[in-house]
A and B are shown apart, each in its own frame.
Chain A
């Protein structure tokens, strides 16, 4: 009974979302405050109802209601409560509901935060956000009902996919979804601006923060996904350019380009068309990403035909595509730039190059991701494009991007003279040369030398920017340097927080280069007590051990690692295999890992014989990999500094709100 209510609640939400779209559109058009109020209330109501529906499904999962086909397929009695909770986003219907929950929640926060601002834009923003919610509600009500029944009461469920029974897998999808969903907000503002013809900088300034926060979630989600792949999949790497990974990476690329190009619009009044196109692309790629991961179209076009949600997504994607293009062409005359680029040695020119590179990488990745699908449609044969393609095409582009990341902050807006150029570039170039020589002495190969030298350049630029900024403050205000740095963050958080993000990216760059060019690996079978060496380490296989958990058995191999230089033990690694009761043919791997700032020792247990007398391992030494995770944390901190709200910016709003007539009440 309660689950039927859940379905009814979703149906009510669907109707109210449709109503709210109309109310927002008409209200915004006629500037009718009652209709506008109704659209705001619809946003809140949909969020509340979807929350109720999610709570009911959570109740079903936690109370083992196996009469629900979703619970039956994605849970079991012995599953720890923690994973029962996260099983909400472990399957198709549940994850669509979760998407909808986060989206409607985000929409409600946006509506509430702006209930007294942007009064002309907001009704349309509400409409666009509700349209996205409506699409997911249609899916939930007509194609992927999370409350559908099995028809009988099974004694136990079939269990959650073992790969998803991992703490990274609980938090990683949440982060990705928050990032995905959040990107609907800047898109909604862009469409709102186009519809209302309010195409000055208002929407751009407003979405800055609403883009940074989802961008941060998306970045964190991608990095956590790599962490999960690194720890769980056991092939020594963290990124394989597989379609699901690319699906999250594509909107990140265009979203990052957008974050940079809105700065140019704000500063110089150019690139107005480009900015709406970029955020539209980002939103389109978000929906496309959800579509590809949910419909199975990339595994095979045939599985797409069997998917219930596939056709719905296709229709929605077509609507986004043509609806937006029509709107854009209609408003094109209003989107003329106010200026042109004065000089190529200017920050806006560097930002423009950054945009080309980001979109270039995005198109290459999109092409590579969808190539197998096109080849299957055209030739009937599936030709996959593998990691070497992506690395070959995107590697050099990323290197250029990294270089620009160092160069752009050193340039001034409009024009940078030769003197200023020299003054800005001398120290960072010297730093790059020093790093380059150092790396060349340690390991003689060209690409890593260039790559790491560029990372050194970027880091030196950031340090120089901070020092010069803080000194400039001290010279005029007499603050000490520490206070000056804090004030740089509070006065110009976007720039100085952005530099911290750049530092995080440079760290990730260091990790990628280290892993890509200096990884060592070895496959070996060892009897108990035997040892092998790899790199600067000796590894001794001691014994096998096993451990019974609630819904699985854990088999671990105890391996001691010793340093060949000092002879001392650096750690004990226990690579594991988990055999799940419900899915014994899908054992999962848990790598044995010893991390250090220089390199990781990474051991995968492939199998064992004679009850543990001997075991087979793949061993990797991964240089500098830990910097990827540290860089991820630095990136999040930087984004938070950049997005931190400061009250002074509310000024225009205060002035403007007096220009409004008082509303109803």
Chain B
């Protein structure tokens, strides 16, 4: 009795197995094709990796495995890479980059420890900084590079051209080399 039942169950399961494998192929119409942007996926992976490396580097530095000079050098290098990757991602898929930023904000929100800027392996500070730099890059695409700064009048706030000696709006004299109201752009 129980043996017959066993046989029935075994046969039933075999039938089910065959059905499960063939079932997806029996559907009508053209098969949907998996769409995945290989380039985008690779960029996202690399970005993730560079962010992780920045975190690891900072942690190593804080527990004394790196000298200050080495840390600065490698940190700068990695951050440049991260920004480069983010820019490429924005070119390949702007909507994905936006989504990425949303996700990053979401993660920052959920973080238990408030990012103080000195948080060790909380990547919040770092990611926020990268996000900030990116926003600057996005909103001021034509900003002058080479470390030069846009200048503003200390009296009325109007934008100053590099060669101006007086503010075109209110006439206040501009002292050369006074960076008090300058904003770094890169």
The answer on A and B forming one complex is yes
List A residues at the B interface (Cβ < 8 Å): 1-2, 5-6, 8-9, 12-13, 16, 19-20, 23, 30-38, 41-42, 44-46, 48-49, 52, 56, 59, 119-120, 198, 200-202, 205, 266-267, 269, 410-417, 419-420, 423-424, 465, 468-469, 472-473, 475-477, 491-492, 648, 651-652, 654-656, 658-664
Q: Is B118 an interface residue (CB 8 A)?
A: yes
> How far is A38 from B38 in the complex, measured between Cα atoms in Å?
23
Q: How far is the CB of A294 from chain B (nearest CB, A)?
A: 27
Across-interface contacts of B45 in A (CB, < 8 A): 200-202, 205, 652
B10 to A38, Cβ gap below 8 A? Answer: no
B40 to A659, Cβ gap below 8 A? Answer: yes
- Pull 27 A–B residue pairs with CB atoms less than 8 Å apart, ordered by A: A5-B6, A8-B14, A33-B31, A33-B32, A35-B25, A45-B17, A52-B13, A59-B6, A198-B38, A412-B60, A413-B56, A413-B57, A417-B66, A424-B65, A472-B59, A472-B62, A477-B119, A477-B122, A491-B121, A654-B103, A655-B44, A656-B44, A658-B99, A659-B93, A661-B33, A661-B34, A662-B32
Q: A472-B120, A655-B100 are in contact. Are A119 and B27 (CB under 8 A)?
A: no
A476 to B119, Cβ gap below 8 A? Answer: yes
Across-interface contacts of A656 in B (CB, < 8 A): 36, 40-41, 44
> How far is A656 from B89 in the complex, measured between Cα atoms in Å?
12
Q: How far is the CB of B32 from chain A (nearest CB, A)?
A: 5
> How far is A44 from B9 in the complex, measured between Cα atoms in Å?
17
Q: How far is the CB of B80 from chain A (nearest CB, A)?
A: 14
Q: How far is the CB of A506 from chain B (nearest CB, A)?
A: 21
- Chain A's interface: helix, strand, loop or mixed, by majority? helix
> How far is A412 from B61 in the complex, measured between Cα atoms in Å?
8
Q: How far is the CB of B175 from chain A (nearest CB, A)?
A: 40
B107 to A42, Cβ gap below 8 A? Answer: no
Q: Is B48 an interface residue (CB 8 A)?
A: yes
Q: How far is the CB of B16 from chain A (nearest CB, A)?
A: 8
> How far is A415 from B93 in the complex, measured between Cα atoms in Å?
36
Q: Which B residues from 7 to 24 make CB contacts under 8 A with A?
A: 7, 9-11, 13-14, 16-18, 20-24
A5 to B10, Cβ gap below 8 A? Answer: yes
Given contacts A198-B41, A477-B119, 16 further A-B contacts (CB under 8 A): A8-B14, A9-B13, A16-B21, A23-B25, A34-B27, A34-B31, A46-B17, A266-B52, A412-B57, A414-B74, A419-B67, A420-B66, A655-B99, A656-B44, A659-B37, A660-B34
> How far is A424 from B56 in the complex, measured between Cα atoms in Å?
17
CB-based closest 6 A-B pairs: A45-B17, A412-B65, A417-B67, A37-B24, A31-B34, A41-B20
Across-interface contacts of A49 in B (CB, < 8 A): 13-14, 17
Which residue on chain B has the smallest CB distance to residue A197?
Answer: B38
Partner of A200, one of B22, B42, B121: B42
Across-interface contacts of A655 in B (CB, < 8 A): 44, 96, 99-100, 103
> How far is A38 from B24 in the complex, measured between Cα atoms in Å?
6
Partner of A414, one of B34, B70, B96: B70
Q: How far is the CB of A484 from chain B (nearest CB, A)?
A: 10
B65 to A35, Cβ gap below 8 A? Answer: no
> How far is A36 from B31 in the complex, measured between Cα atoms in Å?
11
Q: Is B147 an interface residue (CB 8 A)?
A: no
Across-interface contacts of A20 in B (CB, < 8 A): 21
Across-interface contacts of A41 in B (CB, < 8 A): 20-21, 23-24
A492 to B121, Cβ gap below 8 A? Answer: yes
Q: Is B64 an interface residue (CB 8 A)?
A: yes
> How far is A656 from B65 in the complex, measured between Cα atoms in Å?
35
Across-interface contacts of B56 in A (CB, < 8 A): 267, 413
Which residue on chain B has the smallest CB distance to residue A199?
Answer: B42
Q: How far is the CB of B157 from chain A (nearest CB, A)?
A: 37
Which residue on chain B has the smallest CB distance to residue A657?
Answer: B36
> How far is A664 from B107 in the complex, measured between Cα atoms in Å?
32
B62 to A5, Cβ gap below 8 A? Answer: no
> How far is A202 from B36 in the complex, measured between Cα atoms in Å?
14
Q: A202-B45, A424-B65, A655-B44 are in contact. Are A52 and B10 (CB under 8 A)?
A: yes
Across-interface contacts of A52 in B (CB, < 8 A): 9-10, 13-14
> How far is A200 from B38 in the complex, measured between Cα atoms in Å?
10
